[in-house]
Amino acid sequence: METHPSHDFLGGVIEGFYGQPWTRAERFQLFDWMQVWGLNTYLYAPKDDPHHRSIWREPYGPALRAELEELIRSCADRGIRFIHAVGPGLNIRYSDPADLAALQGRFGQLLEMGCRDFCLLFDDIPDRMRPEDRERWGSFASAQCGVTNAVREWLVARGGAGRFLFCPTPYCGRMAAGGLGGEGYLAAVGKELDPAIDVFWTGPEIISREITVGHVEELTALLRRPPLIWDNLHANDYDGRRFYCGPYSGRSLELKARIRGVLTNPNNELPLNHVPLRTLGAWVNGADKWDPRAAYLEALEGWVEHFKTPEQPIQLEELVRFTDCHYLPYEEGATAEALLQAMAAVFATEPSQWDSRVESVRLEAVRLRDLCVRISTVTERPLFYALLRRLWELREELDLFDRYVTFHRDPANQGRSFRSDYHLPGTYRGGWVPRLQSLLVLDPDGSLHPAARAPR
């Protein structure tokens, strides 16, 4: 009789973003962080590893096998569970025995390398089926469950009965409500998928501001098992202009008792994930009241050590001002929000009505601008390269504010239009994409309307 694996809580990291996969050195840095911060699982699923999605049928060659074997050993040495994922959904033929054999062959290779935990991902794919697949299975959910169950049964027979993970095609509440995958998709998964298999879920949204106990309890009833959270809170592959170094937030400690784990899919740039991963580790291992801001400040005390410069070192208070500008998708850090509101108030007031508070706002903006310049000199150059574009974009905007205020505070410029020789049309905020973005306005309520036509 088959024994299902124990569902120990998984807390860790997914290398699952779109973009250049992490390097060997970055992965070893990640594993060291995870060991120290109490994170126990690493899921190998880089979207832009061709063998993960586009050429998933092809076996790994000797060089790639050696790389993966080294990763598996390195995780084992640190007490980290290594999970290997394949995403065949772009072109799998669900009813073709050859494709099932190809999946078995891939996982068989990993078994030989020492891997015992696996994952099949059917995310971010068209929800349409080939006629022969529909004739064989009847529905998208049944086809995916059938293949997944068959692969796991094959692994169990060969001693690979570790954790097995599954990502559905509708993997958030909005997708499910929209009917992605077909009517009754999640209910079918709950009924047909082997109960030993964990099911990924990102929450109400792809990037969820909050994941509540109530939301998870409703999903658990539908899936007939607690979900495993794939958390995109700190993911930035959808917007290359941003990164997020705020705390793990919007998930209460009570949630842990109702899920099978949390794996975070973080910033593409590994050096920028110090605070997100450290605070996730604190959440996973925490037992008392969760205070995201306190966890964030504590994590920054460790990260500031990486901001050494040849001259004046970056202080913790300064780093807070900078990282508050790159906090979370749905909120800014406290100091950044306060400065933004103060600057907005300056722009909303005629220069003739300015008082002494304007100068204090300008000085605060200048301090942050100059901090950006100092951060550019950090001796840990990979950290600077990860920050580079966002660092200089912030500096340019703050410099423009300084020039605007300085210009209008000069009585000689009364009635004159402000211009900056350093911020010129075409080179500043220029390009086809920004022009395209200006054509359609996104309102705070999520509705969109052409900029050339005011909303009704």
Cα–Cα distance for residue pair 232/390, rounded to 1 Å:
20
CB 320 within 8 A of CB 328: no
To the question of pTM greater than 0.85 for the whole model, the response is: yes
In this structure, what token pair is assigned to residue 58? 């092809």
Extents of the domains making up the chain = 10-288, 316-422
Question: Which member of 49, 96, 99, 124 is catalytic?
Answer: 124
Position of tokens 């047909």?
192
Q: Tell me if residue 124 is catalytic.
A: yes
String of b and e for 250-278 (b: at least 16 CB within 10 Å)? Answer: bbeeebbebbbbbbbbbbbbbbbbbbbbb
Q: Identify the pLDDT of residue 117.
A: 97
Q: What is the DSSP string of 193-205?
A: S-TTSEEEE--SS
The gap between the terminal CA atoms of the chain, to the nearest Å, is: 66
Question: Residue with structure tokens 């998709």?
Answer: 185
| pLDDT, tens digit (0-9, with 9 covering 90-100), for 248-261 | 999 999 999 999 99
Q: Whole-angstrom Cα distance, residue 184 to residue 189?
A: 9
Over residues 11-53, the pLDDT tens digits come to: 999 999 999 999 999 999 999 999 999 999 999 999 989 999 9
Task: Give the model's pLDDT for residue 5.
Answer: 36
pLDDT, the chain, mean: 94
Cα-Cα-Cα-Cα torsion 210, 212, 218, 219, nearest 10 degrees, comes to 50
Task: For residue 347, name the pLDDT band (cuts at 50, 70, 90).
Answer: very high
Tokens of 73: 């050993």
Residue 5 amino acid letter:
P
The pLDDT tens digits for 279-319 are 999 999 998 899 999 999 999 999 999 999 999 899 999 99
Nearest C-alpha neighbor of 129 from the set 119, 114, 144: 144
Phi and psi, residue 398, nearest 5°: -70, -35
Placement of tokens 């054509």 in the chain: 439
pLDDT digits (tens, 9 = 90+) for 125-167: 998 899 999 999 999 999 999 999 999 999 999 987 799 999 9
Q: Which of 299, 286, 290, 242 is nearest to 266 (CA)?
A: 242
- Residues 6 or more apart in contact with residue 417 via CB below 8 angstroms: none
**How high is the pLDDT of residue 455?**
53
**Cβ-based burial of 26 (10 A; exposed 0-12, middle 13-18, buried ≥19):** middle
Going by their DSSP bridges, the two strands 448-450 and 440-442 should be labelled as antiparallel
pLDDT tens figures, 379-434: 999 999 999 999 999 999 999 999 999 999 999 999 899 999 889 988 898 899 88
- In eight-state DSSP terms, residue 238 is T
Q: State in words which class domain 10-288 has.
A: alpha beta
Mean pLDDT across 268-286: 97
**CA quadruple 181, 252, 303, 29: dihedral positive or negative?**
negative
